[in-house]
Structure 1
Amino acid sequence: MRPPGRPLLALLALLCGLVVLTAPTAPAGASGATAAARAAERGILPPLPTAPEGDVPGVNDWTCTPSPARPVPVITVHGTIGDRRHLLERLQLALVDAGYCVFSLDYGNRGLEDVVASARQLKAYVARVRTATGAAKVSLIGHSQGGMMPRWYLKFLGGTAFVDDLIGIAPSNHGTLLTGSASPLTPLLAPICPACVQQGSDAALLKRLNAGDETPGDVSYTQITTRYDEVVVPHTSGYLAGGANTRNLTLQRLCPTELAEHLLIPLATPTISLALKALATPGPVPAGFRPRCF
């Protein structure tokens, strides 16, 4: 049975309601063109709160030193409307328990702002983690936009030199029909969530990102999707072009009774099992690996 999409509808209602509550007013002395350019990149929302309760224990410990057994720090990257903690807790705890130095960032005003600007924030954060830990490379695990946006960092901002694994969990690599140009949601979301429109299935940003090599550099790419994804539609748009350094996976092919949809997939046991295996293996998740399902 397909899980209901009520969490998605609630989030969309919240975003659309913010259009009514928030007006795009220009600051004193700013030209209309400047205000319009800012709105196109950042949207019209003020800074939004993220995780008031702080980090999961062991996450963002800037004194953490990678061990010989776990020499590559891991950065978790939230999705649109997300933050550095929520939906990622189980994954982060599993990573800490496995002995990794684990970090997580907030970016793009909860991931609502321009994807390219968010990729620049990720670049700076990776540099900060590398400096703090002394590591040559990091691995990235991202949910939704957090699985796609790092690819901009890798492809256009020099990130392939500093990333070992990119693990996308329900990533929006080839976008979603929900915010494509033909969707009635798109004009409603555009003022408050530029990143939502940039993740439309026919968005110019994704056309540029996916032109040519989709998996550049000496990086291992693992994509984990769910058949019940109600946000990245179709779920197979999370896949990347096949190759020796790429693995495309759908949870229900490995664990047929798994019901996780877009919001719950980062919390799912097989997702965490696959992510840990990808990190511990040269290359992506090995073909034939069977994750824990329960």
Structure 2
Amino acid sequence: MLPWKHSGKRPWKRALRPLAALLLAAAIGLAPAATATAAPAPTSGWNDHSCKPSAAHPRPVILVHGTFGNSVDNWLALAPYLVHRGYCVFSLDYGRLPGVPFFHGLGPVDKSAEQLDAYVDEVLAATGAAEADLVGHSQGGMMPRYYLKFLGGADKVNALVGIAPDNHGTTLGGLANLLPYFPGAEDLLSTATPGLADQIAGSAFLTKLNAGGDTVPGVRYTVIATKYDEVVTPYRSGFLDGPNVRNVTLQDLCVLDLSEHVAIGLWDRIAYHEVANALDPAHATPTTCASVFS
């Protein structure tokens, strides 16, 4: 008699899980190319100030990069994904330190929020829209909350979607886990980086940001987290409390999704499908492992 018949366990099922995860990871990487082949590419990219929102998508979407990111590299996959779906999409650079090119999001987070404030006004003026939707990765999902809470942003923003945001902070060790993804960034730790200090759990900035509640009235909040996050730890610290909040763990949508902190923002189409649902909840469809092909 085979040993597993005594225990009732099926080792072949356990063996298939890594294979299924590998196939899913391959699908995530290949799906954008397959989609581009199946349908015409968008006729214009993002940051097109002549773009006018449609009746179906009446609000421009502003993408807010994370720490060490910038307005281009953070969004090489998500921006075209949303443009292809008919959105006017914009992205900004913020938090740049003097003399530090390419790596942004390192300046004081409250000053970065002021830059976001100015950029939202610029986008609204260009598009003629009354409100915008914000989608941010990592710090970019947390920093806009300062804009909403202290700079009057709640009157100009309909929804904030945070992809692995550090809403309640992390440790410097967690932030240091980002460094291998950005060659040369480690040298920046020897310089003054107030944007990193502001994101450490218990910082004066985060204490102020979260005092009196996580949310403000009139804004819909979505947080998309991954249990494999090695930067925001524990990953549930990114979740928000309050009305009009939806907290989502990626693996509850697709147990095979292995994305960690960087991957969930840079190329995970399962997370992107949930972003699209958050931007247009009236036409949301279930997010599953098959969403890599959507």
Compute the TM-score of the two structures, normalised by the length of structure 2.
0.74
In the TM superposition, 1:45-60 aligns within 5 A as: 58-60=45-47
The Cα shift of 1:293 comes to 4.2
Return the index of the structure with the highest Cα Rg: 2
Aligned with 1:264: secondary structure? helix
Aligned with 2:72: secondary structure? coil
In the alignment, is the contact (CA less than 8 A) between 2:172 and 2:196 conserved in 1? no
- Aligned equivalents of 2:173, 2:207: Cα separation in 1: 15
**Other-structure match for 2:157:** 163
In the alignment, is the contact (CA less than 8 A) between 1:178 and 1:233 conserved in 2? no
1:113 to 103, 107, 121: 107
Structure 2 residue runs of 5 or longer lacking an equivalent are: 1-17, 22-42, 97-103, 180-187
- Aligned equivalents of 1:179, 1:206: Cα separation in 2: 17
- Aligned equivalents of 1:293, 1:255: Cα separation in 2: 9
In the alignment, is the contact (CA less than 8 A) between 1:179 and 1:196 conserved in 2? no
**Other-structure match for 2:8:** none
The structure-2 alpha-carbon separation of the partners of 1:100 and 1:293, relative to structure 1 and needing over 3 Å to count, comes to: closer
The structure-2 alpha-carbon separation of the partners of 1:150 and 1:122, relative to structure 1 and needing over 3 Å to count, comes to: same
**Other-structure match for 1:234:** 234
In the alignment, is the contact (CA less than 8 A) between 2:213 and 2:242 conserved in 1? no
Aligned with 1:67: secondary structure? coil
1:64 to 37, 46, 51: 51
1:290 and 2:277 matched: no
The Cα shift of 1:178 comes to 3.1
Q: What letter is aligned with 1:85?
A: V
- Aligned equivalents of 1:275, 1:230: Cα separation in 2: 21
1:147 and 2:134 matched: no
In the alignment, is the contact (CA less than 8 A) between 1:140 and 1:166 conserved in 2? yes
Q: What letter is aligned with 1:231?
A: V
- Aligned equivalents of 1:57, 1:271: Cα separation in 2: 23
Compute the TM-score of the two structures, normalised by the length of structure 1.
0.74
Across the aligned residues of Structure 1 and Structure 2, the Cα RMSD in angstroms comes to 2.3
Q: What letter is aligned with 1:252?
A: Q
- Aligned equivalents of 1:159, 1:101: Cα separation in 2: 19
**Other-structure match for 1:32:** none
- Aligned equivalents of 1:104, 1:157: Cα separation in 2: 19
**Other-structure match for 1:137:** 131
In the TM superposition, 1:1-294 aligns within 5 A as: 58-109=45-96, 110-178=104-172, 189=189, 191-243=191-243, 245-266=244-265, 267-281=267-281, 289-291=286-288, 292-294=290-292
- Aligned equivalents of 1:215, 1:120: Cα separation in 2: 18
The structure-2 alpha-carbon separation of the partners of 1:96 and 1:145, relative to structure 1 and needing over 3 Å to count, comes to: same
- Aligned equivalents of 1:254, 1:193: Cα separation in 2: 36
The structure-2 alpha-carbon separation of the partners of 1:118 and 1:146, relative to structure 1 and needing over 3 Å to count, comes to: same
More helix by share: 2
In the alignment, is the contact (CA less than 8 A) between 2:214 and 2:242 conserved in 1? no
- Aligned equivalents of 1:192, 1:65: Cα separation in 2: 40
- Aligned equivalents of 1:60, 1:174: Cα separation in 2: 30
- Aligned equivalents of 1:264, 1:253: Cα separation in 2: 17
Q: What letter is aligned with 2:259?
A: A
Count of residues paired in the alignment: 231
The structure-2 alpha-carbon separation of the partners of 1:105 and 1:228, relative to structure 1 and needing over 3 Å to count, comes to: same
